[in-house]
């Protein structure tokens, strides 16, 4: 078997219901690139101490399943990357719909040698006005600071390992922190990160739609989002369950 050129890493905690909805979009994107290029890729789902059938569902859909027992999202992504064989890494959340062109575009960008990484910005469509305003704020903040959330980040494996991956001592904003370091690396090497605005991913809006708006504003306002990021106890409510 040929060595995978692209490794898609998907952290998953109790995602048995959501993987069948969203993982097929990742599979289609990977297959579209492989068909056109003759390359091959892999999908690694990292089961993060799930209590449902996440591992079984992921395996039935064709993913390689790894296990990370410690409930920490940075550690989960790092575990997936440690088992990845690809030259290019694509980190995608389990509840994200990926455009069919995504893998083709990221391989083209990274293989050119002009970029160390990048991201596909999310397009959120929550039902409530308050939640939409919150999403608008963070989208504007991301554009202004050339930042990216972890819902769909990509980079070369070389850059990832040079940066030593995501910080596993953080329980929130580890994705923003990693991308900031990736951005700085790209600026220093003349290989800037790229935000593919024309090709956005579509995450589920389950938290925005099921949690009260005040609760989302409490956890995702620009002040709280910077508080006690290394405290598992402070962020336990965010980690406690997957909203359905």
The ranges of the chain with pLDDT < 70 are 1, 244
CA distance 9 to 92: 6
pLDDT at site 239: 87
pLDDT at site 240: 81
pLDDT at site 90: 98
| Multiple choice CATH, 6-239, 3.90.550.10, 3.40.470.10, 1.10.390.10, 3.30.360.10 | 3.90.550.10
CA distance 71 to 11: 11
| Local structure of 156: helix, strand or coil | strand
pLDDT at site 57: 98
Buried b (16+ CB within 10 A) or exposed e, 181-218: bbbebbeeeebbbbbbeebbbbbbbebbeebebeebbe
pLDDT at site 1: 56
Q: How many CB atoms lie within 10 A of CB 224?
A: 14
pLDDT at site 238: 87
């Amino acid at each position: 078997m040929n060595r995978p050129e692209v490794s898609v890493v998907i952290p998953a905690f109790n995602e048995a219901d959501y993987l069948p909805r969203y993982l097929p979009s990742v599979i289609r994107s990977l297959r579209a690139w492989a068909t056109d290029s003759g390359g091959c890729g892999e999908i690694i789902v990292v089961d993060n101490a799930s209590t449902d059938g996440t591992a079984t569902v992921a395996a039935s859909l064709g993913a390689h399943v790894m296990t990370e027992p410690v409930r920490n999202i940075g550690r989960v992504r790092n575990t997936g990357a440690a088992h990845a064989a690809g030259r290019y890494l694509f980190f995608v959340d389990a509840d994200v719909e990926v455009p069919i062109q995504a893998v083709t575009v990221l391989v083209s960008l990274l293989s050119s040698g002009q970029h160390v990484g990048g991201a596909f910005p999310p397009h959120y469509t929550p039902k409530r006005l308050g939640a939409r305003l919150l999403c608008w704020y963070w989208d504007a903040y991301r554009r202004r600071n050339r930042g990216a959330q972890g819902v769909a980040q990509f980079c070369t494996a070389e850059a990832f390992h040079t940066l030593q991956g995501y910080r596993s001592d953080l329980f929130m904003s580890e994705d923003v922190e990693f991308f900031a370091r990736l951005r700085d690396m790209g600026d220093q090497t003349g290989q800037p990160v790229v935000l593919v605005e024309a090709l956005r991913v579509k995450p589920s809006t389950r938290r925005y739609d099921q949690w009260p708006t005040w609760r989302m504003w409490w956890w995702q306002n620009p002040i709280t989002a910077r508080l006690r990021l290394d405290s598992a106890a402070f962020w336990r409510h965010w980690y406690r369950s997957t909203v359905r």
